[in-house]
Structure 1
Amino acid sequence: MLFNKTNKNFRIKPLVAFGATAAVGMSLATASHAQSSVTLYGIVDVGVEHINNTTTGGGQTREVSGNLSGSRWGLRGVEDLGGGLSAIFVLENGFNVNDGTTGQSTKGIGANATTTSRLWGRQSFVGLAGKGQQLTLGRQNSLLYDQAVPFDPMGASSRYSTLSLDYAMAARIDDSAKYVGTFGPVTAAAMYSTRYDTGYGTEVPGAQITGRFYSGSLTYGAGPLAASMSFEQRNSNTVATNTASERRVTAAATYVIGNVKAFAGYRFLRASRAFLPANPVVTANGADAGYANMYWTGAQYRVTPALQLTAAAYYQDVHASSADPWMAVLSADYALSKRTDVYATGAFARNKSGSALGVNGYGTVAADYNQTGFTVGMRQKF
């Protein structure tokens, strides 16, 4: 849905010829530099899920929101400033279809997660764009999230994807400055934040590194091949432990052959033990720092223009530990129209040596138990 807004040429009955000429000249000059538009958009995604071996040991059947795509609505605006430069903004709210509550309303992860308040929890930023480059300020998707969507077979979906093995694969960063530049087939990006999660409070005077975040990425795409590399570091949000950090390095690629798109990816994680105690890698490793490799692979097959099948596998290798879980996913997505589709997704998570990876993330299954999940749902885009 699109609302276009342009400056109106106000007609004023002239008293003299000079007045009429001046009025028309000013009107034309204003109109040529003030073309703007605001787009209302969104996704509504809801389904029914059944999982077994929950943390209480039993099964659960429930209605769930945001399965293949997080449910959202937003406003996207652009104003032509002339000379190839535009002012842009995005305000995007996440919500849960099943109960009408706001999404992205937590800080921290796992047992440390608490509630905070965010109206535009998915994104809220403003900036300038032009000639293949963009600079924006606000709450924005991390570069790792930008990479995960096109390079994870499941698109870093809310359920049954790389997000289940690492919460940072779909992270959003508060108080951030983000640059993205496209140079032929190469896209370079950089990001910096003064405090990446303001659910913990604002910047702390005299504690410059508390909650700091920085990241960079390079992505190449030409013909059937696309590849990307990224790095990010985030410091603890707590003043007492602000020298503790999480560092991630990723590499991923896709290749298209006919109706098949193949995926492969790797992520290295180093997490200080004092950083977010709920981090599953840290809690699984008794050393001062936790290290883990995550690998994923998969493929999408376009059976018909309306039907797509996806298969994916994910493996977490935790250093100095045998708690190395893996997860397999199968999904079918059928388009009823350009805007509406129905889907069915199944996943199986395998645990051992005390690991507790559920199909929806760590800590959602009883330790040492495997878990199977199955979701059927419907998604509409507008």
Structure 2
Amino acid sequence: MSLAASAAHAQSSVTLYGIVDVGIEHINNASAGGGVTRMTSGNLSGSRWGMKGTEDLGGGLKAIFTLEDGFNVNDGTLGQSTKGIGANATTTTRLFGRQAWVGMSYKGQQLTFGRQNSLLYEQAVAFDPMGASSKYSVLSIDYATAGRIDNSARYTGNFGPLTAQAMYSTRYDTGYGVEVPGAEITGRFFSGALTFAQGPFAASLSYEQRNSNTVATNTATERRATAAASYVFGPIKGFAGYRYLRASNAFLPVNPIAVANGSAANAANLYWAGAQYTITPSFQLTASGYYQDVHSTNADSWLAVLCADYFLSKRTDIYATAGYSHNKNGAALGVGGYGTVAAGYNQTGFVVGMRQKF
């Protein structure tokens, strides 16, 4: 019995991991007016620490879990404590605000439960040239590309070069309250994604729908669909993508496009393209562009980004990122997202920083 217990223990593992990312940023035309120079946390990667574990149950079946906390390096505060936009924002206390889930895996199939990354987030990380950095990326334009879903069940199946995923939540953001008896669609979420990857080519399709977080408006929805692809040409990896967005006027939390443009413009198409050039194994350049076409208004915006990243080792790199956002007719897209620039103004931002992974 003692030998059997030792063998079982040897097939289990728990790993502590994390990223610490901090930089000095300067932007002009801030939302309050004028320029700002500041220290910012989580520029290329959100700062985090976490634990992940696996236990081999035999016959190919494994128990798995991940607990992951986001934090701000500059002041030590939690990274996922505020949810929502403007007057609809809420504050929550989340020790493991990035991820907190447990589940089972079996021969390429995985079923997990808890607070998990949305499928749209995972598509953005894989197909955004900036890897869905905390800002200066597709995340600056659509907050949902870094979505995390409470109370969720998620399935992932690997079938050769094809990966199929499905996700469902009974209340995707408990910052707005728990499940409501008799009103099951309040805060409901569902999503699906298909990803194909073989050789130098990869492509994905995804869809998600959220119901509003209040009982009075719970039939209002916010719907997104994405299509994206990447291709490797020697030292260059190219990216292109598209996101469809439609949201009901009554959707809560309020769609940030509508807030920033001061209108009920809850429909928009987002396009992006870019490339990563690996000049040497230690030095990489990334260039990307994003364009948001907002319907029923001419308040459109585009964002251009250039990033240089130098790896001092496998775990440590230093980087410099520059971005420029251009706004038309009162739009307010800044390099860090909607509402971070004075309405109708353009913005230039620059950040130099260091990142360590462990």
Query: Shorter-chain TM-score: what band?
Result: over 0.9
The match for 1:47 is 23
- Structure 1 residue 42, shift from structure 2 partner: 0.3
Q: Hey, what does 1:310 align to over in structure 2?
A: 286
Tell whether the 8 Å contact from 1:45 to 1:378 is kept in structure 2 after alignment.
yes
Aligned position for 1:155: 131
Shift of 1:107: 1.8
Given the alignment, which residue of 294, 301, 317 partners 1:325?
301
Render the CA deviation track for 1:300-359: whole Å, top value 9, x for unaligned: 000000000000000000111101100000000000001000000000000011100010
Q: Does residue 370 of structure 1 match 2:338?
A: no
User: Given the superposition, is the C-alpha separation of residues 379 and 286 from structure 1 closer, same or farther in structure 2, using an over 3 Å criterion?
Assistant: closer
What aligned pairs does 1:237-252 form with structure 2 within 5 A after superposition? 237-252=213-228
Q: CA RMSD in A?
A: 1.3
- Residue pair 2:204, 2:228 contacting (<8 A) in 1 also: yes
In the TM superposition, 1:124-163 aligns within 5 A as: 124-163=100-139
Question: Using the alignment, how far apart are the partners of 2:35 and 2:254 within structure 1?
Answer: 24
Could you tell me which residue of structure 2 aligns to residue 17 of structure 1?
none
**Alignment match, 2:268:** 292
Distance 2:334 2:281 in 1: 33
* Cα offset, 1:130, TM superposition: 1.8
1:82 matches 2:58: yes
Preserved contact between residue 285 and residue 319 of structure 1 (Cα < 8 Å): no
Would you say the 8 A contact 2:284–2:308 is kept in 1? yes
SS in 1 for 2:23: strand
Displacement, 1:111?
A: 4.2
Q: Which amino acid aligns with 1:238?
A: T
TM norm structure 1: 0.91
Q: Work out the CA distance in 1 between the residues paired with 2:217 and 2:83.
A: 17
Among 212, 219, 241, the residue aligned to 2:188: 212
Read off the aligned partner of 2:48 and give its amino acid letter: R
* AA matched with 1:94: G
Once the two structures are aligned, what percentage of the paired residues are identical? 74
Q: Is the 8 A contact 1:111 1:278 kept in 2?
A: no
> Contact 1:285 / 1:318 at 8 angstroms: preserved in 2?
no
**Larger deviation, residues 304-313 vs 113-122:** 113-122
Shift of residue 114, structure 1, vs aligned partner: 2.5
Q: Which amino acid aligns with 2:112?
A: T
**Secondary structure in 1 matching 2:219:** coil
- Distance change in 2, residues 1:277/1:144 (3 Å): closer
Distance 1:184 1:58 in 2: 53
Whether the 8 Å contact between 1:116 and 1:199 is mirrored in structure 2 is: yes
Structure of greater Rg: 1
Q: State the distance in 1 between where 2:83 and 2:101 align.
A: 20
Secondary structure in structure 2 of the residue aligned to 1:202:
coil
Q: Aligned partners of 1:227, 1:285: CA distance in 2, in Å?
A: 35
What do the CA deviations read for 1:92-116 (whole angstroms, capped 9, x no partner)? 0100000011110012124422311
Report the alpha carbon displacement of residue 290 of structure 1 after superposing the two structures with TM.
Answer: 2.4
Counterparts of 2:324 and 2:86, CA distance in 1: 21
CA contact (8 A) 1:271 1:282 kept: no
Q: CA deviation at 1:261?
A: 0.2
CA shift for structure 1 position 159 = 1.3
What residue in structure 1 maps to residue 204 of structure 2? 228
CA contact (8 A) 1:285 1:321 kept: no
Asked if 2 retains the 8 angstrom alpha-carbon contact of 1:194 and 1:212, the reply is yes
Note the C-alpha offset of 1:133. Answer: 1.0
Whether the 8 Å contact between 1:55 and 1:365 is mirrored in structure 2 is: yes
Structure 1: which amino acid aligns with 2:229? Answer: A
Aligned 8 A contact 1:271 1:281 in 2: no
**1:110 touches 1:363 (CA, 8 Å); kept in 2?**
no
Unpaired segments of 5 or more residues in structure 1? 1-25
Give the TM-score of the pair, scaled to structure 2.
0.97
Partner of 1:344: 320
